[in-house]
A and B are shown apart, each in its own frame.
Chain A
Amino acid sequence: MDFKPLGDSALLISFGEFIDEATNDRVHALLRAIEKANFEWLVEVVPAYSSLVVVYDSMLIDLEGVKRAIGELEFSAERFKGRLVEIPVVYGGEYGPDIGFVAEHNGLSIDDVIEIHSKPTYRVFFLGFLPGFAYLGGMDERIAAPRLEKPRLKVPAGSVGIAGKQTGIYPLESPGGWRLIGRTPLRLFNPGKEPPTLLRPGDRVKFVPIDESEFRELYGAEWGEEDD
């Protein structure tokens, strides 16, 4: 465990520079231990792949105090069992305009891409970039594809994309350069809900192929309006 100050109100704790599940398990185990300790000076904890940041109220404690309190915590790096979240996805067509490119780029059929993408269970390493955006691990490299040369100005919320060896879901409508292969009717970020995000750090994700009529039905239930 490596401690480095991140300004005067936060501590960066790093377990090295790794993107693997075992390291990320330690991140989440320490995060839970810190939250559970319920320190009065604790503002919040933010995890990433192999590091976490502890934000503290520097009116109540100094850096040395934070280091000492965290150094004394006991935590076991047991496998973090998050929830299994099934994400229905309609692949291809207008919902996934780049699925043909991904197939061709890898010498596969569109059905192969769908099968390969929906087979694994992905791990949510952490959320960042946009509210509710999950950094997922575990994509099969056989469907890897480069980003668009010119990003789209508007990617609809729920779009499922591939960028290099990563896959992800746009939680909000935003510009974006990922290759879009499908779209989920589920709302990944809903500011009116508590918690506001469908996915949480440590969860596991399984993509489930659905057809367009299922998409429309679920979309209406989730967003309370017709997609147009």
Chain B
Amino acid sequence: MIELLNVPSLLTVQDSGRRGYRKLGVPVSGFMDDYSARIANYLVGNPGDAPLLEFLLAGPTIRFNASCVFAVAGDVEVKLNGAPIEPWMSHWAKRGDVLEVGTLESGLYGYIAFAGGIKCEPLLGNCSTYPRAGLGRPLKAGDNLNLGYVVLTGKDGRYLPPELRPDYSSKEKTVCVVLGPNIDHFTEEGIETFLSESYTVTSESDRMGYRLDGKAIEHSERGADIVTEPLLPGTVQVPASGKPIVMMRDAQTTGGYAKIAVVAAADLPIVAQSRPGERLRFRAISVDEARELLIRREKTLMATKDFLDGKMRAYRIMAGGEELIAFTKVERRG
């Protein structure tokens, strides 16, 4: 069991999100940055979708009331019993140890995973928190959480080198999008504006959606409103103001504003990790290219998991003038 001693910011239990309830109006929810969250889980030997803690900007202070193995994913200072320890690495904690997670240097969401995962009673088949509908609630100081039982041996000391970590430090990030489906609600100039300008993330941004500020996107004579259609996380809606809104994990399931584009699933964590005041640029790619990005990302994640499990080695190589990380299988001898 772990006890939350201090919770300075939004802290929730999340996993990979709810499937199958969107037609009843229930949002997907789940990890805002599924890339970092899955790596946090792999660091402690969990399946990628195990329930863990997601914090916004500043992490909690936690007391362990039983031994466990944990890892923190994020660009953040971490202390165990007052002594600095590495993030992106799994560590043993003994009964009575205190973990302090600081404030993220870059990015907006950080993750704390525990070997065995956080034990929770699934609601609608899942542990993702969506407080608005009574599906869990934000955590507060004094809350106790149970962890799942697993063999802990061999799950500590796993380390992800900086080269393999996602980097969210840039103040202007480029995000790939697939244009459509309501593209006929925009003028050519409006689409050009969307793809050439940079847009600033505003403070009116949360797990439901990120409102962006920048040059207004021009609608065609068809206007900003459509007959309400389903939408998904990543959908970019443009209301009459011309300022785009990127729908995020807690987004409502349907919407009545014209959709100019959808963020490539592989790039949605980049949006999630952009802070208010930071800028986004959008680059249009085809559906097949977006899918290719996702497949490549999945391969990288699987290789990262094998690397953390000791089944692969990683090498830094130069290819076509670009620095890349290559993975090779560890050969087992005799």
Whether A129 contacts B252 in the complex (CB less than 8 A), given A44-B19, A53-B229, A191-B133, comes out as yes
Please determine whether A130 and B133 come into contact, CB atoms closer than 8 angstroms: yes
Whether A196 contacts B263 in the complex (CB less than 8 A), given A48-B228, A128-B253, comes out as no
A63 contacts chain B at the CB level, 8 A cutoff: yes
B229 to chain A, nearest CB (A): 5
Measured between beta carbons, the chain B residues less than 8 angstroms from A58 are: 265, 291, 294-295
Smallest CB gap from A52: residue in B: B230
Smallest CB gap from B227: residue in A: A17
Measured between beta carbons, the chain B residues less than 8 angstroms from A171 are: 25
Query: A7 touches which one: B134, B229, B262, B288 (CB < 8 A)?
Result: B262
Smallest CB gap from A12: residue in B: B181
Interface residues of A in 119-162 (CB under 8 A from B): 126-133, 135
Please determine whether A132 and B25 come into contact, CB atoms closer than 8 angstroms: yes
Query: B24 touches which one: A51, A127, A172 (CB < 8 A)?
Result: A127
Whether A133 contacts B25 in the complex (CB less than 8 A), given A5-B180, A6-B262, A8-B290, comes out as yes
Q: How large is the interface on B (under 10, 10 to 19, 20 to 34, 35 or more residues)?
A: 35 or more
A116 contacts chain B at the CB level, 8 A cutoff: no
Please determine whether A128 and B232 come into contact, CB atoms closer than 8 angstroms: no
Give the one of A12, A31, A55, A194 with max B CB within 10 A: A12
Please determine whether A128 and B252 come into contact, CB atoms closer than 8 angstroms: yes
Interface residues of A in 155-195 (CB under 8 A from B): 171-172, 174, 189, 191-192, 194-195
A45 contacts chain B at the CB level, 8 A cutoff: yes
Measured between beta carbons, the chain A residues less than 8 angstroms from B180 are: 4-6
Query: B232 touches which one: A49, A55, A194 (CB < 8 A)?
Result: A55
Whether A63 contacts B287 in the complex (CB less than 8 A), given A6-B180, A58-B294, comes out as yes
B330 contacts chain A at the CB level, 8 A cutoff: no
**Assembled-state Cα–Cα distance A47/B235 (Å):** 16
**Assembled-state Cα–Cα distance A63/B254 (Å):** 21
**Assembled-state Cα–Cα distance A33/B259 (Å):** 27
**Assembled-state Cα–Cα distance A204/B262 (Å):** 34
- CB-CB contacts of B245-285 with A at 8 A, as 1s and 0s? 00000001111000100111110000000000000000000
A62 contacts chain B at the CB level, 8 A cutoff: yes
Whether A6 contacts B181 in the complex (CB less than 8 A), given A53-B232, A135-B228, comes out as yes
Query: A127 touches which one: B19, B25, B123 (CB < 8 A)?
Result: B25
**Assembled-state Cα–Cα distance A172/B134 (Å):** 9
Query: A129 touches which one: B181, B254, B288, B295 (CB < 8 A)?
Result: B254
Smallest CB gap from B26: residue in A: A131
Please determine whether A46 and B298 come into contact, CB atoms closer than 8 angstroms: no
Total number of A-B contacts with CB less than 8 angstroms?
151
**Assembled-state Cα–Cα distance A199/B298 (Å):** 37
A37 contacts chain B at the CB level, 8 A cutoff: no
Query: B291 touches which one: A49, A51, A62 (CB < 8 A)?
Result: A62
Please determine whether B294 and A8 come into contact, CB atoms closer than 8 angstroms: yes
Please determine whether B230 and A128 come into contact, CB atoms closer than 8 angstroms: yes
Please determine whether A131 and B23 come into contact, CB atoms closer than 8 angstroms: no
Please determine whether A46 and B265 come into contact, CB atoms closer than 8 angstroms: no
Please determine whether A191 and B124 come into contact, CB atoms closer than 8 angstroms: yes
Measured between beta carbons, the chain A residues less than 8 angstroms from B262 are: 5-8, 10
Give the one of B23, B26, B124, B132 with max A CB within 10 A: B23
Please determine whether A7 and B132 come into contact, CB atoms closer than 8 angstroms: no
Measured between beta carbons, the chain A residues less than 8 angstroms from B25 are: 127-133, 171, 197
B256 to chain A, nearest CB (A): 10
Measured between beta carbons, the chain B residues less than 8 angstroms from A191 are: 123-124, 133-135
Interface residues of A in 47-85 (CB under 8 A from B): 47-53, 55, 58-59, 62-63
Measured between beta carbons, the chain A residues less than 8 angstroms from B135 are: 191
B76 to chain A, nearest CB (A): 30
A200 contacts chain B at the CB level, 8 A cutoff: yes
**Assembled-state Cα–Cα distance A135/B227 (Å):** 12
B107 contacts chain A at the CB level, 8 A cutoff: no
Query: B21 touches which one: A50, A130, A196 (CB < 8 A)?
Result: A196
B325 contacts chain A at the CB level, 8 A cutoff: no
**Apart from A8-B262, A129-B252, what 5 extra A-B contacts exist at CB < 8 Å?**
A6-B259, A19-B227, A47-B23, A48-B229, A63-B288
> Residues on B close to A: CB < 8 A?
19-27, 123-124, 132-135, 178, 180-181, 226-232, 234-235, 252-255, 259, 262-266, 287-288, 290-291, 293-295, 298
> Residues on A close to B: CB < 8 A?
4-10, 12, 14, 17-19, 31, 43-53, 55, 58-59, 62-63, 126-133, 135, 171-172, 174, 189, 191-192, 194-197, 200-201
Chain A to chain B contacts (Cβ below 8 Å), 14 pairs: A4-B181, A6-B231, A7-B287, A8-B264, A12-B230, A31-B23, A47-B230, A48-B230, A53-B230, A59-B295, A172-B133, A191-B123, A191-B134, A196-B24
